[in-house]
Amino acid sequence: MKYRQNNSIEVAAAKASISRATAYCIKKNPDLPSQKQKARGRRRPDPLEHIFDAEVVPLLKAAPGIRAVAIYQEMLRRHPDLSEGIR
């Protein structure tokens, strides 16, 4: 933010055509996005990984308008070992 050298954050943000919130974020952490650490991957295994491509995708292709709740209930019916708390 070149304008920040002589102006307040609010004025510098207006001159740079960015929001005040963005200006405060830049002030807080001036690193470029390419210099920031990457987000962590999944922390736990996907409980539907073994059935998604084999069962869920064919259901979606066969009935494109099907609701997610219907697919969820069908997977619980077919696989009683799945807990009801999966998302």
Tell me whether residue 29 is exposed, middle or buried, using C-beta atoms within 10 angstroms of its C-beta: 0 to 12, 13 to 18, 19 or more. exposed
User: Does the predicted model carry a pTM greater than 0.85?
Assistant: no
pLDDT in tens, 23-82: 898 888 888 878 888 888 888 888 888 899 999 999 999 998 999 999 999 999 999 888
- Contact between residue 71 and residue 52 where contact means Cβ atoms under 8 Å apart: no
Calculate the CA 80 to chain-centre distance.
29
Instruction: Name residue 15's amino acid.
Output: K
